[in-house]
A and B are shown apart, each in its own frame.
Chain A
Amino acid sequence: MPIHEKSLIRPENLITNDSLVIDGVDVSGHWSTFIKSRTITDYNEAMEDEIAALPGGENIHRCWQCGSCTNACTVNAVNPDFNPRYWIYLIRQGLEEELLRDKDIIWQCVSCNKCTYACPRDVLPEGVMKATAHWLELKGHTPKSPSTHFDEGFTESILATGKIEEGRVLRTFFQRTGQPLNQPWLVALVGGLVKRFPLGYLIRMGWSTVFRPRTSNWRRTGRAIEEYVSERRAEQAKALGLDTKGGH
């Protein structure tokens, strides 16, 4: 049988014999490609339920492995290792160790929802990707991804003022991820703008640092949301069996 998705098999588990004769038939080289068999003993049986308990993961049990999500996926087209169908399979089987091999790329889902559009089972794979990335962070398998830093900076701004002030979110983001603000392409971008409109642009930049856009009488609303968020965080930590003392 041909080996589909050969990329999913580790190179060290693919065996080819340069010269091999079995029962008088010469199957040397390419013809003798075997996958090394392996025994799996530790399944993480809680993994699917834990991911289903996080926002976006609720429908993971509906997946029937058709592969439409991976086929439609924006990031998969750029990086074949990014494979939502496969990860859903691993999670449902409890194959944690296998999943962890891809832990550093799962957060890269760009939320384009092409998978959601294609999925015949309403799994909402986009949500499952977010829940999985979140799970990896909560379990300590990955540090907070740049994207999580961005989401949190953004959310803090909204909780505080009701609105987003892009300049501030960007500064917080670059700070938290330790990226320099003087990357050549950013400089070229801003430089071009400043050259064309030195005054207006600088005034606008300065303006927004002094007068942050905000929704008035927001305090009460912000607090109501915060209360809800911390409650949810505690619930999720409990579902994942985490110590809640250090929680938000």
Chain B
Amino acid sequence: MAGDLKKVAYYPGCALEGTGHSYNRSTKEVGKALGLELVELKNWNCCGAMEVKNVDPQVQTYLSARNLTIAQDMGFDTVMAPCNGCYHNLKKAEYDLAHNPHAAEVTERISKKAGHKAYEPGGVETIHALDWIKHGVGEAELRQRAKGKLAGLKVANYYGCMYTRPRHIFPEKDQGTGSESTSKPHFMDDILAAAGAENVEFPLKTACCGGAHSLSDSDISTKLVLNILTTAEACGAEVIATECPTCHSGLEMHQVRAEKVLGRKTSVKILYFTQLLGMALGLSAKKVGVQENLSDPSEFLRRKGLG
């Protein structure tokens, strides 16, 4: 992990300004509570999401690289992206620019025409919000600060696709003890366990929610999400903790759709891990944006004495 994580560049991305607003809010609040400073990238642009690459992958690389240039110009060597899609794309740009001469050439060319310096790989390290908290604060301090506030809360940790796949763009993962695993990720488990939560054994941690076709092929997405929800319930979870706005809103949306279209009702709650952690640190449900989620878990949270 690069330098000091107490102050890093922050790339929220488009989703966190829209449907994922509560993730944005809770991430910032948790940072504040833990003494981690975030400096938002100036005049950032969309990373290309999942869609641009299907039109042209090199354009996605350029779009992501432009944000890395901004981070570098602002004097940072680390940029934190809480959205799996953004995190994945910045990582992929880093990889492609180092390994694919054609990608480097296109980025060079578009950057020049757009009037800014082209990003050179190796300049900035992209980290996820999970890395940021796990390495910037650590479990010992979290344990001390949260005082077991999440005790008795049964959580299934859901990481989705983009946090671990494809493996080659995450060279720091699968490096033995202490590093993140691509087959069985555990950073979110570790963080929530430190806050007192009881993590259930959940086999679908990196299953796909169908987010890419959440709307264009909603029937498949509903089936995939329903599988995740019912499996979490079968594993004894009361809450699914998420770390990606696309997964999160996909789960929330298709939980409703499964009930309305397939008549399959599930009651497991869906919350961002930053919302759970924030409440464990004593922040109110409102402060971590629970009211901005699509589903309404307030009754459940009251029962658990949270928020």
Contacts and interface: CB of A to CB of B under 8 A. Distances in A.
Nearest to B66: A221
Nearest to B50: A111
- Size class of the A contact interface (CB-based, 8 Å): 35 or more
A61 interface: no
A85 interface: no
A contacts with B: majority SS? helix
A167 B66 CA distance: 25
B19 A173 contact: no
B264 interface: no
A228 B18 contact: no
Nearest to A204: B21
B299 interface: no
Given A116-B165, A166-B14, A154 B52 contact: yes
B51 A151 contact: yes
A113 B161 contact: yes
B44 A215 contact: yes
B62 A225 contact: yes
A192 B52 contact: no
Contacts of B50: 111
A107 to B, nearest CB: 8
Contact of B212 (A111, A193, A217): A111
B283 to A, nearest CB: 19
B224 interface: yes
Contact of A196 (B17, B54, B296): B296
Interface stretch (A12-20, A30-38, A63-71, A142-150): A142-150
Nearest to B160: A112
A167 B115 CA distance: 30
Contacts of B210: 74, 110
Given A112-B161, A166-B18, A197-B291, A55 B57 contact: yes
Interface residues of B, number: 58
Contacts, number: 164
Contact of A158 (B18, B45, B109, B166): B45
A147 B50 CA distance: 11
Contacts of B45: 158, 162-163, 215, 218, 221
Contact of A232 (B43, B56, B63, B216): B56
B154 interface: no
Given A112-B165, A150-B215, A158-B63, A185 B257 contact: yes
B36 interface: no
Interface in B23-67: 43-46, 48-59, 62-63, 66
A163 B14 contact: yes
B110 A224 contact: yes
A115 B241 CA distance: 25
A177 B216 contact: yes
A113 B165 contact: yes
A103 interface: no
Given A117-B166, A147-B216, 12 more contacts: A55-B58, A74-B207, A111-B212, A150-B51, A158-B45, A167-B18, A192-B296, A215-B44, A215-B45, A225-B59, A225-B63, A228-B106
User: Which 10 residue pairs spanning A and B have beta carbons closest together?
Assistant: A112-B208, A224-B113, A146-B216, A154-B51, A221-B114, A164-B14, A162-B45, A113-B165, A166-B18, A185-B260
Interface of B: 14-15, 17-19, 43-46, 48-59, 62-63, 66, 106, 109-110, 113-115, 161, 164-167, 182, 207-208, 210-213, 215-217, 220-221, 223-224, 253, 256-257, 260-261, 291, 294-296
18 contacts: A55-B56, A110-B213, A111-B50, A113-B161, A114-B208, A116-B165, A154-B49, A164-B14, A185-B257, A189-B253, A189-B294, A192-B256, A193-B294, A213-B14, A215-B44, A218-B45, A221-B113, A228-B56
